[in-house]
Structure 1
Amino acid sequence: MGGIGKTTLASAVFERLRAEFEASCFVEDVRKLLEKNGGLNALQEKCLKELLKDEEINTYNLRSDFVRRRLHRKKILLVLDDVDNFMAAENLIKACGWFGEGSRIIITSRDMQVLKNTSAFLTYRVPTMYHHDALHLFSLKAFKQNQPFKNYLELSKRAVYYCHGNPLALKVLGCFLHGRGKEVWDSALTKLNHTLHKDIFKVLKLSFDGLDDDMQKNVFLDLAFFLNVGHGISLDCTRGLYGSHARIEISVLKERSLISVDRYGNIEMHALLVEMGLEISQQQLISNPEKPIRLWRPQDVFHFMKNDKLM
């Protein structure tokens, strides 16, 4: 999921291992680079220049036997960070086919389908942080030390619980609360029960925006709604709700790290993703109050039943 630490982990691995390779390159935020002018060609050119230490080289040189021989003689470490397009990833990997023996390519992605289509030899799903580590990271940002101040311990535990092990949320919230009084902490944490911090929402929403169509988006929002109001939902239920579309929609949401399914067939979703889904649904209510799709706040339900519309 967004903010889980994929880039941070890949960077740490890259810095630890790069000395063992003759050439190395870390390409951050591939998704954004592919959206810019030049797209895939520009990205390939960036990799070639860095790996061969040659500013004159360009993508047309890839057809050259001389360039291919230069690449084939080198043991290379390449990291492609935040790849969301499996066609682009496949083409990038093909261009890396001339790397020397012992070379390694690491890809980070929110989409498991990207890794499947590049025939990844090994995949690793980054877990959320354990409570002790989460409290440590939060304290570094909120107090600039390893542990919380004693008189802030209970408030810090509330903040860490809210983040549910997501490193980005821990950093953002820690920085936001740093230097503020206990009353402000209490007020801020109470507010977060109703709305996500904008920086956390922005990163998480990238996964939602990356879904392929409105059907997938609506299925995700429905699941967030059901899980929020305390009703678990199983794979069997989704087949009843969405018919023949259920299998593919659930499969895509799993691959995009937006949901998971336990061994009993029950759908699960990270608490921050539930909050993100509710916030998107609330925005939809505000923009179209005459035709509400999902109502869960008591005041909205009351006003709609009383007036046949939202206030």
Structure 2
Amino acid sequence: MLERYGLRVPEASTRFGDDYITVQEDHFSVSRPSGKIDNRYQYLQNLIRRVELQVELERKSPLMVPEVTVGVDGLLTEILGKRIRDHKFMGFFGMGGVGKTTLAKLIFNKIFAKFEFSCFIEEIKEISGTKDEVKKKVWEKMLRRGVPVHSAGGSSGAGEWYQVRGSSLFVVFDDVQDTHHVKLLQEIAHDNGMRESRFIVTGRDKNRLRDCGHNIHIHLLDKLEDEDAYKLFLSYAFPGQQEPLGSLRSVVKQVVDGCEGLPLSLEVLGSYLRDNEDIEHWKEILVALRECNEIADLDEKVWAKLQLSYNRLPSNEVKYMFLDIASFFVFREVPFAGNDAISAWTSIYGGGHSRLRILEDRALVRIIGKGSKGDDIIVFYMHEHLRNIGQRIAKSEGRSFNLSRARTLSTSDSDPRAEVYNQYPYDDQVIFQGDQELGKIVAHRVSISRTSMQVYGQTCAFCIMREVWSKLTAIRYLDLSVHISDCCQDCRKRGCPLPNTLVLFHLNLNKIGNFVISGEVRRDFPDDTTRTKTGTLVLTGCTSLVKLDLIKCVNVDLGGLNKLRHFRSLQITGCGAVHNWPASSRDLTCYFR
């Protein structure tokens, strides 16, 4: 310790002539600070706190990974040793389902506590907008010493990145497909400027990863070796057993071979066949796997194998829940949590938890946030391949409408905009489709603006809603934003009935004026508000409605809610006067912001 601060004492200094100088104190007494205001005391106290925090963070695992991982220990040791020391940038590439994201998460969980700032952006390709918009969204995911920056009292935004300059930083961009995201990561690294900082990217295109710079170390993730693939499959199909029963051994090995070493396929099919000793059932899966392996396209082949588990779900209700999650409830922008989805399914199917457990047991969905008290916010997680399968099936069954949505990304400092199109079965702006058949849309994000008025030739948001909702005959989950305040005289008199199939409804009105939710059009608001253009949404036909979120509604009448027997949750944010609260005897949860 003394040498570290330049206080090294020469050995000969303890002698005077032939005599030694003796000190009548022990080492502890000599080193002990004189008091709590002593600099040495303050230093030791801060050091102990930093060590305690480091140990506490190292015990945490902020990212969920598969319960069983096989064949990565050697690679993980190599990366956490020499590779992470020698390379500021690292990249992992390989085909979908091979385990790139899992490896990146394992590394993040191991070392994030060593950095002051850290963040893991899963599927960075899903984050769109200008450079500053994307940068802001990345910052919102940032941790500082393991605590989200917004929870630690810091504001969020692209302008807050100055805080990481000169601080150790660890950033992971998962599933990079766009040059703009690579350039953004380079900019973050350049502005940070600290040698101890580290950056990891994953993707399927090796050339895209190379865009990070010539000094990046890129590692190919290949399929599992036969022995590792067999171990991983057994851990899911026969948990706790070393080997299957004698009559199953040969067919089990053939099924493992049919998965071709892909961890995701091994996990999903192993979970589906868990503890199943019917050899005929195994042979049926084997035949289906052989048919899948005849597909030439690699992605199509993987999807076909994963769909085997979906096709064999026990009921249509469970299948519909899987499609709802894949196509709606896993997206970051969706205002409904997993708890809301479960409440909706309980109302629709008479049970949500038990059916959701089937999806979890089949490894089709992972659930984050389950608590013993049942009061945690539940979030669904689904692998990209499984999500794509769900979206494709939803589209093929007519449960959704596939719409191209334009996104903009900055391409240079001068900020010319390049449009990038992405496909989502449940998308927003359905109103732009005019007279086109919409299909059996189950979930949608609808935004009404001046542009949509021009498309429909209308001057009133409620007229447009009546026209659109007449086509949404199966809508259950609706996220509606209205950015205009005009309302025609006709709508002030007769209102606009909501789709009677609604179960979850999130409504954001940006200063639309007096707004009514009721069983009938009311004209008796106080303060003579009838002079203001007013729109009315009629709720009494929504007999299955479970949750209602209202944002920025100036004048609200909730009288119609008393007639809805399934209604359980009301959230009001930034609203004005609220009239006719539901009866206090109702089992109702209310949130105010």
TM-score category by the smaller chain?
0.5 to 0.7
Distance of aligned partners of 1:60 and 1:111 in 2 relative to their CA distance in 1, 3 Å threshold: same
Task: Specify the alignment match of 2:235 in structure 1.
Answer: 140
Which residue pairs with 2:108 in the alignment? Answer: 14
Give 1 or 2: higher helix fraction.
1
2: distance between equivalents of 1:60 and 1:16? 27
Query: 1:138: how far off?
Result: 0.1
Given the alignment, which residue of 99, 116, 125 partners 1:5? 99
RMSD: 2.9
Q: 1:39 to 1:153 in 2, by over 3 A?
A: farther
1:191 and 2:288 aligned: yes
- Where does structure 1 differ by over 6 angstroms across 4 or more consecutive aligned residues? none
For residues 23 and 50 of structure 1, do their structure 2 counterparts lie closer, same or farther at Cα, with a shift above 3 Å needed?
closer
Equivalent residue for 1:165, pick from 248, 252, 261: 261
Determine if the alignment matches structure 1 residue 75 to structure 2 residue 168: yes
Q: Deviations over 1:201-221 (max 9, x none)?
A: 982997xxxxxxxxxxxxxxx
Once the two structures are superposed, residues 74-127 of structure 1 have per-residue CA deviations (whole angstroms, 9 ceiling, x without a partner) of 111111111111222212321332223310001111111221111152000112
Q: CA deviation at 1:191?
A: 1.9
CA–CA distance in 1 between the matches of 2:142 and 2:283? Answer: 52
For 2:185, what is the secondary structure of its paired residue? helix
Shift of 1:49: 6.3
Q: Name 1:175's counterpart in structure 2.
A: 271
Q: Which letter maps to 2:219?
A: Y
Of the candidates 134, 141, 155, which is equivalent to residue 40 of structure 1? 134
Contact in 2 for aligned 1:172/1:200 (Cα 8 Å): no
* Distance in structure 1 (CA, Å) of the matches to 2:260 and 2:228: 12
Letter in 2 for 1:179: D
Structure 2: segments with no counterpart, 5+ residues: 1-94, 293-303, 310-383, 389-593
| Matches of 1:146 and 1:86, distance apart in 2 | 46
The structure-2 alpha-carbon separation of the partners of 1:187 and 1:76, relative to structure 1 and needing over 3 Å to count, comes to: same
How do 1:261-300 residues align onto structure 2 when only pairs under 5 Å count? none
Q: Distance in 1 between matches of 2:136 and 2:249?
A: 49
**Could you say which residue in structure 2 is the equivalent of 1:91?**
184
Distance change in 2, residues 1:118/1:48 (3 Å): same
Match for residue 205 of structure 2 among 105, 108, 111: 111
More strand by share: 2
1:146–1:113 Cα change, 3 Å: farther
* Distance across 1 between alignment mates of 2:264 and 2:129: 24
**Residues 223 and 260 in structure 2, CA contact (< 8 A), matched pair in contact too:** yes
Structure 1 residues not aligned, in runs of 5+: 207-311
Q: CA deviation at 1:132?
A: 0.9
Q: Distance in 2 between matches of 1:128 and 1:18?
A: 27
What is the identity, as a one-letter code, of the residue corresponding to 2:157? T
Does structure 1 retain, via aligned residues, the 8 Å contact 2:169–2:196?
yes
Q: What is the identity, as a one-letter code, of the residue corresponding to 2:282?
A: W
Residues 45 and 57, structure 1, Cα contact 8 Å, conserved in 2:
no
In 1, distance between residues paired with 2:260 and 2:129?
32
C-alpha displacement of 1:48: 4.7
Task: Indicate the structure whose relative CO is greater, using CA pairs within 8 Å and at least 6 residues apart.
Answer: 1
| Alignment equivalent of 2:156, drawn from 38, 58, 67 | 58
Contact 2:118 2:142 in 1 (8 A): no
Q: Which has the larger radius of gyration?
A: 2
2:198 is aligned with what amino acid? R
